[in-house]
Structure 1
Amino acid sequence: MQVYEYAIIRYTPKVEREEFINIGVLVFCKAKRMLISSFHLDKKKIECFESELDFDTLKDHVDAFERIAKGQCKISPIGALDAAERF
């Protein structure tokens, strides 16, 4: 048996309204030294909560999450860490 841990990634348009949208998940297994990510951005749903959103900027942030999870982000020192530390 292997232990898997996960973290849900949420987009929070307005913290004071306590609204959020789940946009992704990180899954980690220490024994397998594995960290994977999966994201889905539903533009119409997100724009219902915040019409002034710069969707391209949000997409850039999600892309950074994915690159860090894969250990491909050389710009960030986090990208150079092992899977457990990146998680």
Structure 2
Amino acid sequence: MSRHAFQYAVLRAVPRIDRGEFVNVGVILYCQALDYLHASVVVDPVRLRALAGDVDLDAVRTSAEAVVEACRRPEGTARENTGLAHTFGRLTAPRSTVVQPSPVHAGVTANPEHTLAGLLTRLVAPPR
């Protein structure tokens, strides 16, 4: 099985920008060689309310789901250095909003869908 380089960023919900505290709510994974760009999110209201009791859960969900949707409809291809690459760069650009991306990290994968699910479980899902 061939392995391919990928990049990913964790989506963080920051209910109070002034405090800088966050809860991981999703992962964006981009694999240029396979023209793969997907995001998955899991918004845990209990963990978010622990940081800010008055957090707007709908705003967090809407912002996180907008990232998922943006990954579903990019234009062009990664090989053209537009479309997927451009969309990943735009989604991982630093910002001061209720949902923010982490720095970009890299790895290798034979199955990006499986890797995305594993990252979501390891980095986002509530501890058991």
Q: TM-score range by the shorter chain?
A: 0.7 to 0.9
Deviations 1:21-48 (A, max 9, x none): 1111000000111101111100111011
CA contact (8 A) 2:75 2:84 kept: no
Which 4+ runs in 1 deviate beyond 3 A? none
**How many aligned residue pairs are there?**
80
1:14 paired to 2:5 = no
Mapped partners of 2:58, 2:28: distance in 1: 21
Partner of 1:74: none
- TM-score normalised over the length of structure 1: 0.81
Partner of 1:49: 51
2:33 counterpart letter in structure 1: A
For structure 2, which runs of at least 5 residues remain unmatched after alignment? 77-82, 89-128
1:83 paired to 2:84 = yes
Mapped partners of 2:29, 2:43: distance in 1: 18
CA contact (8 A) 1:7 1:26 kept: yes
CA contact (8 A) 1:33 1:84 kept: no
Residue 61 of structure 1, aligned match among 43, 63, 67: 63
- TM-score normalised over the length of structure 2: 0.57
Residue 34 of structure 2, aligned match among 18, 22, 32: 32
The alignment partner of 1:31 has SS state of helix
Mapped partners of 1:51, 1:12: distance in 2: 13
Residue identity over aligned pairs, in percent, reads 25
RMSD: 1.5
Greater RCO (CA < 8 Å, at least 6 residues apart): 2
